Every structure is written in structure tokens, then in C-alpha cells.
Amino acid sequence: MSILQGKKVLLGVTAGIAAYKTAHLVRQFIKAGAQVQVVQTPASKDFVTSLTLSTLSKKPVYSTFYDEEENEVWNNHVELGLWADLMIIAPATANTLSKMTHGVCDNLLLAVYLSAKCPVYFAPAMDLDMYQHPSTKESIQKLTSYGNVFIPATSGELASGLVGEGRMAEPEDIVAFIEQDWLAKLPLKGKKIMITAGPTYEAIDPVRFIGNHSSGKMGYQIAKEAANLGAEVYLVSGPTHQKIKHGLVRKVDVVSAEEMYQACHQYYQDVDVAICAAAVADYKPLQVANQKIKKKEASLQIDLTPTKDILASLGKQKQHQFLVGFALETENEVANAQGKIERKNLDMIVLNSLRDPGAGFAKDTNKITIIDKHFASHEFGTKPKQEVAKDILNFIIEKLHV
């Protein structure tokens, strides 16, 4: 799965013959899992139709500031610029490059470019003499100095019939270039992270089990955000309805505490960070019945035995790993969390309390306090779990000095 999965891509199309390639470029972004919004210059419609691009992107194509057929509804360039995670102008003609360089704003595409807050890529396309002209070289140099990312043209047969440099990079190469550029700039690029999530189920008989109310939402959000930051993620997951689809996430399904213990120790030696967010059962039945236990009038007694302490065992084996635990407490929260840090040799712990209305199992929000190994506390307000995941990972990144 591509790093562009779920990303919002703004594709600007200008009036060059290479515009015909943008139909394929839209398809490549869609194939990578991105959303694509196309903005065309009016003149580019002579080379590729809006109907083609809107059909492929499944979004209306914008080319003017307002639409006369829709009672002159304004196409908000500011909203378009803020919507995108990245913008790519392809093909970028010599004319458009010059306008981008000097802030000329005479069409919707240029207005969107000047409003964009996201990374902007540009892929020039023109004849070889135009591409080598000093003014074009100066435009490219200035645009890169502004922070825009240059995707070089390639050599090949041009529309003029000449052969040389100036041909727009192929759609597959443009997407690959952007993927690699994004990965290289992500703070967790090259890091391996193991994350546990969800509950464990401890069998009583073939039908029944001991479990808890953990939904796995917090662990899955951390896994997703870690992958979005470039990490290679091993997600060791207990039974849950949560789903994740990301090229950098390897999901390992387990059921019991013993299975989670074995999986964690399988990957632990190779990871840089281990985040144990799962709600692992503390006890399991001493004996598991081979057949379903029949209901009787008398009470049922089940003898329990402790499960293996996964977090403590990882703490004992810790070498280079940054080890993170979770503590869900109902009383003496801070003292209990600090005790866990010492007993289990943790680098930090994420504390939440069931007494906080925004925290707890199966909720979409959480309220946490992060405590480091020196017992310094950092409190956060109630937030969606996606934002909580970002807070946790930002704290880890700061501690790792990456």
C-alpha cells in the first residue's frame, strides 16, 4: 500500500500537449489510494477534457473562479488550497512556471497555487530549447528556493518531432517520485515500531472466554499515525472489529495473552520502539474445558492463574528499544503509573483514568497524561483518539531526537 493512501491530492493541469498524460496520472493517484481534485487552466481543455478527468477522479473539475451554469457559484481557491495534503502541477508549462515565480494570478489554478499550504510539486513539460532557456532555468531555481519540489523532465521524442530533454516525467514515475520524497522527509522513516492493541480472550471452554471491553481503537490509531510518519509498523492485535489498511503496517492477529506474548517477543528484538496499548487479560482459567460446560443449578467455580506479564518481560529484555506502556487506572492514578514505570523498566507510560468522562474503552476520545521515566508529567485535554495518537508519537519522536 502506498504512503499516499488516504491523501488529498490537488492536480493542476496546464496547457501543454503532455496534458493528455494527466488522465493516466489521475488513475495512478487513485490506484495509490489518494483522493484527487483536478484544477485546469481554461486553455488546457484544448488538450484534455474536464469530462475525462472528472470521470476518472470522481470529482468535478474546476477551471474558472465561478460557474455560470451554477448561478455564478464561486469556486473558492482558498478552500481548495487548504483542502490538499499535496499539490502537483503537471504539466507545468514555461508560461505557468514564469507566472508561479512572479506571483501572477490570472486564472484559478494560479490562485489555488498561491493559496496552498501543502507541499507543491511541479513537473515541467516543453520543447527542448524552451526547457534549456535561461528564463526557464531561472524559474525552476526560484520555485525550488520557495520550497516547491521540482520533478525533472526526461529526454525523449517531443511533440515538435525533436528528441531531447523536456518531456514530462511519466505518470508512474511522478507518483513514485512523490512517494519517495514523502517517505524521506517523514520523522519516523527507517524506524520499526511494534504496537499491541485490543483485548485478549482467555478460553473457558470452546464457546466462552474471559475478556474485557477494549475496542482496540487507541492502538489502531497509533499504528496508523506511526505508519503515516514513515515507520514500519508491526501491529499485534487481539480480537477487534477495527480495521487498518496501510502499506507500512503488518498486522499480526492473536487471541490469547500467550499468543500476544509469543508474537511480541518474535518482533521485539528488531524494533526501535514498542508501544503496548493492548488490554491484556491479567488472568486465565487454570483448566480449559474440552467441551461446552453445561448450565447447572449449582454455581460454577473457575480457578484462575496469572497470565504472563508481556510488558514486564519486554522491560527485562530491553536493550536499545524505547518501551512505552499504558495504564488505565481507577484510583491513585499517578502513583500506580509511576510504580509501573519502575517495575517494568519503561521509558514512558500513557495514563488515563476511567474517572475521566472522555476516557475509557470503546470511546472515540481519550484524555491522557504522559509520564516519562523521570516521572515528569505532561497532561493533555480530551481529544479524538487520532489526535491523542499524534500527541503520543510526537512525544516519542522528541525523546528519540529524530
CB atoms within 10 A of CB 2: 20
Q: Which three cell numbers stand for residue 206?
A: 470452546
First-residue to last-residue Cα distance in the chain: 24
CB atoms within 10 A of CB 319: 6
d(CA 308, CA 305): 10
Instruction: Identify residue 47 by its one-letter amino acid code.
Output: F
Catalytic residue among 76, 95, 212, 336: 212
86 near 121, Cβ under 8 Å? yes
Rounded to 10 degrees, the C-alpha dihedral 251/256/258/264 comes to 20
CB atoms within 10 A of CB 352: 22
Maximum CA extent, the chain: 93
Q: Which three cell numbers stand for residue 164?
A: 531531447
d(CA 362, CA 213): 7
Strand partners, 12: 39, 89
Active site residue 75: no
Contacts 24+ apart (CB under 8 A), 63-68: 63/39, 63/107, 63/108, 63/109, 64/107, 64/108, 65/108, 65/111
d(CA 173, CA 18): 14
197 near 219, Cβ under 8 Å? yes
128 near 162, Cβ under 8 Å? yes
Q: Per-residue DSSP letters for 357-373?
A: TT-STT-SEE--EEEET
Q: Could you tell me how many helices (H) and strands (E) the chain has, helices first?
A: 13, 23
Q: How far is CA 235 from CA 100, 219, 307, 388, in A?
A: 44, 8, 21, 18
- Which residues, in sequence order, are CB contacts of 294 under 8 Å at separation 6+? none
DSSP-assigned letter for residue 290: S
d(CA 249, CA 233): 5
d(CA 148, CA 92): 13
**Catalytic residues, which ones?**
212
